[in-house]
Amino acid sequence: MRRVVRRAAPLLCRSHQFLARRNAAHEGKALSHAPPAVDTAELDSPFLSSLLEPPVTVALHDATRTYSTMDVVEPPVRYDPRCPNVYSEHQGMENGGESEGLVMRAHRAGKLWSAFAAAKGNDPPEWFYKLCEDLYYRRHSEDEMDATALSSDVDFQDHNTLMDAWRVEKKTSESNKNNNDDRNNNNNKKDDGKDDEEGVDPYLWLPFDLLNEGEYRVGPYVFPSTATYTHEQRTLLCLGDTRREYVHFCNTYAFPERVQIPTSVGTQPAKLYVDPLQETPVVYIQLSDDFPPAMWLPVKGTAAAVRRVLAEFASISALHRDWHHEGFEERFRTAQRMLELQRMPSSEGDILRYMSYDARNEQFVFAPIREFPNQQEFFLGEHDDPERLLEHVDLCPFLFSIPHLRTVVDPHAEHMTPTIEGPGVATSLYRCVFSKTLLFVQVQLSAEVKLPPQDPEAFRFMWKDSQVFPKMHIPVFVRVVWPDNERMCGGGQLVRRFNRFLKRSLLRTYQSMR
C-alpha cells in the first residue's frame, strides 16, 4: 500500500496542477479558442492504464445461480405467438428428440416386413395377411370361436326384442289408420317396410378401411400436446417402453366426438395396430387418439375376434341412440329457440355449448341413473373446492361435453346457489363416449367439515373481521353404472395390466362386479 501511495501521490499533484493552469488560461484568455497543449506523458500514466485495463480478470462466483429451493409455485407459462403450440405427429416426435427406430427405418427403405418377428424375408406374416384379407372381403376367419361370433356379431340378438316390439307397434298403428286402403297399397307398403328393414344401420355397420403399405403409420405412441404426465407416468402408460414402435394399418368403427350430440353418428374412427416385434398374433384396438398403449384393447389376430369386440360397441351405440335421441333432439330445439329469442349467435357450435350450459337446469327425476344393471361406487377424496374437480371432469376427453345433469357446487359464488337433490347431495351425471357408461358424481355438501385454526381468537377474527373462510373438506363420490359386456372391458386383461403397471387393486373390484 505504501508503494502505491508513493506512486500515486505525484500523479495526483500533476493532474491537480494541470487542471489549475487550464482554468487560469480560460479565465485570462476568454476570446482565445486555441486549446492548451496537453502533456501526453501525463495521460499515458501506467497507473491509470492499469485501472482502466487490468491485465488479469478474476471470475467472481455467482452464488444466486447455484442456490436452489423447493418449487413452491410453478413457473408461469409465457405464450410466444411466434412459436406454434400445436405440432403434428411427426413434428412432435422430432422436437422431442426421439430418433427413428428399427421398424421406421425399415418402412422408409421399403422393407417393412423384414422387421416383423414372425415374417419370413420381406413377406408379411401369414396371420397378418389372412387378417387383412378377411377384413377386406368381410368374412370370418375359420377358428373355434366362429359360433360365438355369429351369436354376438352385428345382429345383437339379446336386444332385438326391444326393436321388434317397437316395429310391431308402429305397424299396428299404421294398419289401423289405413284400414280402408286397397290391398295393392297395403302390399306395396309391406314391401317398402321390408326394404327399409333390410337397409344398413349406420350405427351397426362395421367398416374396415385398410391402408396401403406405403400409408402405414409406423412409430411409437406420441402423447397429445396437452398431456401433463410425468416421465414415469408416460413410461407406465407405454407399457414400460416409450420407444416401442407400432404399425397402424386400418381404420374401423367411428365414434362421435365429445363435443357432438351424444346420439350422433360417429366421425372419429378407431384404429387397429400391431406390434411388429411380437411373435404372437395380437391386434390392438385404439378407440381414441388420447388412449395410450396401456388402454388399448388386445384382441386375437383374427377377423372374427376384431368384429366381436367392435360389435359390442356398435350394439350399445344403437341402443343408446334408440333410447335418448328424441330427448337430445328436444334439448337441441330448446337451446336453439332460446338463443334466437335472445338474439344471440345461434350457430351449431353455439347451440351445443348452450346445451352443455343448460344441463344444470335438467331435472333429477329424468336422469337415467338406473339405465344399466351394474354399478359400483368409488370415493374421490375430500376437496376444498369441488367445483374445480367437476371442471376437470367437464374437460375429460373420454366423456361427452353435454352431460345429462350438471350441478354447480361452488359455495363461494356470489350469485350461484347449488341445486341440491336429497339430503344435501349435489349430483351430476356424465356419459362415456365409447362404452356409454354413466358416471354419477355426488358431492356431499351436508358432510362438509370446516377446519378452524388452533387459536379460537384467530378463528373468530377470520370469520367476523376479515370474512376469510377456513378450508373445507367436502367428500366426493362417483357411482359408475355400466352395461353388461364381455369384450368392451378387455375381458379382464386391461384391468390386470393396470394393476401390474400402475400398482393398483382394481382386479378384486372388477371380479366382484362381474
Q: Where are the domains of the chain?
A: 98-157+202-323, 367-483
pLDDT in tens, the chain (514 residues): 556 556 666 666 676 666 667 666 655 554 445 455 545 555 567 777 776 776 666 666 655 555 444 444 455 556 666 666 555 544 444 444 456 888 899 888 888 898 888 778 788 899 999 999 999 988 764 444 445 444 444 443 444 444 455 455 555 655 555 555 555 555 554 455 444 445 678 888 999 999 999 899 999 999 988 888 888 889 888 988 899 999 999 999 999 999 999 999 999 999 999 999 988 899 999 999 999 998 899 999 999 999 999 999 999 999 999 999 999 999 999 999 999 999 998 899 899 999 999 898 888 888 888 889 888 898 998 888 888 899 999 999 999 999 999 988 876 666 555 555 556 788 899 999 999 999 999 998 877 666 555 555 655 565 555 566 667 788 999 999 999 887 787 766 777 777 777 676 764 444 334 3
CB of 7 within 8 A of CB of 47? yes
Task: Output the CA–CA distances (angstroms, integers) from residue 102 to 61, 96, 119, 300, 489, in the order listed.
Answer: 47, 18, 15, 25, 32
Distance separating alpha carbons of residues 262 and 259, to the nearest angstrom: 8
One-letter-per-residue 3-state SS of 233-284: HHHHHCCCCCCCEEEEEEEEEEECCCCCCCCCCCCEEEEEEECCCCCCCEEE
Q: Is the dihedral of CA 87, 88, 89, 93 positive or negative?
A: negative
Place of cell 508513493: 6
The DSSP bridge pattern shows strands 282-286 and 297-300 to be antiparallel
Contacts within 8 Å (CB) and 24+ apart, 502-507: 502/236
First to last CA, the chain: 92
Exposure of 514 by Cβ count < 10 A (0-12 exposed, 13-18 middle, 19+ buried)? Answer: exposed
Question: DSSP code of 492?
Answer: G
CB of 145 within 8 A of CB of 304? yes
343's grid cell = 338474439
Q: What is the pLDDT of residue 69?
A: 45
Torsions phi, psi for 27 (to 5 deg):
-70, -40
Residues linked to residue 231 through DSSP beta bridges, in sequence order: none
509's grid cell = 373390484
Q: What is the pLDDT of residue 225?
A: 83
Helix axes 160-177, 303-341, angle to 10 degrees: 50
Tallying the residues shown for the chain, one arrives at 514
CB of 459 within 8 A of CB of 471? no
Q: What is the pLDDT of residue 501?
A: 72
Dihedral, CA atoms, 413, 419, 424, 426, nearest 10 degrees? -90
Helix axes 348-357, 303-341, angle to 10 degrees: 90
One-letter-per-residue 3-state SS of 30-87: CCCCCCCCCCHHHHCCHHHHHHHCCCCCCCCCCHHHHCCCCCCCCCCCCCCCCCCCCC
Measured from the Cβ of residue 159, the count of other Cβ atoms closer than 10 Å reads 15
CB of 426 within 8 A of CB of 420? yes
Residues linked to residue 405 through DSSP beta bridges, in sequence order: 429
